[in-house]
Amino acid sequence: MRNTLDFSGKSVIITGGGKGVGLGITRRFLEAGARVLICGRSELEQLPSVNGNQAHFIAADVRDVEQVNKVVERAVELFGRLDVLVNNAGGAPYTDAATASPRFSEKIIALNLLAPLNFAQAANRVMREQAEGGSIINIASVSAVRPSPGTAAYGAAKAGLLNLTTSLAVEWAPKVRVNAVTCGMIKTEQAHLHYGDEAGIKAVEATVPLQRLAAPEDIGDACLFLASPLSSYVSGASLLVHGGGEKPAFLDAGNAGN
């Protein structure tokens, strides 16, 4: 049995919490006893459930401010409070920056930067009125801190999200803590779209110091820590969860010592 933090009685919103990385985060909070509301654009065939603790779902496009507000209102309606918001919804398809349309770039930035801001504002309005405040966690990416060829607008948006995290942490302290999880490569059901077949995934894993891609639940564990009392003095931080990072290319390209 895993040792988990106890989130019994705590209420959590996880955007995009029904699949991929979001599902791993949802499972970890359910396992820890939290009451969880997830949102997404498409209805789920089956709601996530762990040990009889089942998530609630509301359909919403996180790029629509009115729908964002309804998600937060629904959480308060269901649970009477809001303790944690995980801004997980995001992503971008591969696109050449030279030919990407302005409309495409606007949508990517709206999803990965503006939506988390709007959700954070809505959550903060509830959390700041609670005696215990609350915790907001933004799911960022290593694309924010290194070149992001093929997903330039996404990388720029995630870089903005890291800055937003630090700014909100200052503005909303001490009632609301705001942190980010900066994720490396993750093995989800769509990993083949980024890394190819199983042989391709294995080859990519070999480049990671820990010799594997992250599981979605690894990101969930990081979120549990940042939302827990163990991180009560952590705010405005970016927790790197990337298996040790990427080996510098020059180490393989050079021939010193050969």
3-state SS string for 30-82: HHCCCEEEEEECCCCCCCCEECCEECEEEECCCCCHHHHHHHHHHHHHHHCCC
Exposure on the CB side of residue 122, measured as CA atoms within 13 A = 24
**Torsion of the alpha carbons at 187, 193, 195 and 196, rounded to the nearest 10:** 120
Residues 76 and 229: their CA atoms lie apart, in Å, by 22
Residues 13 and 17: their CA atoms lie apart, in Å, by 8
Active site residue 154: yes
Instruction: Write down the catalytic residue from 94, 154, 195, 233.
Output: 154
Residues annotated as catalytic (active site), given as ranges = 154
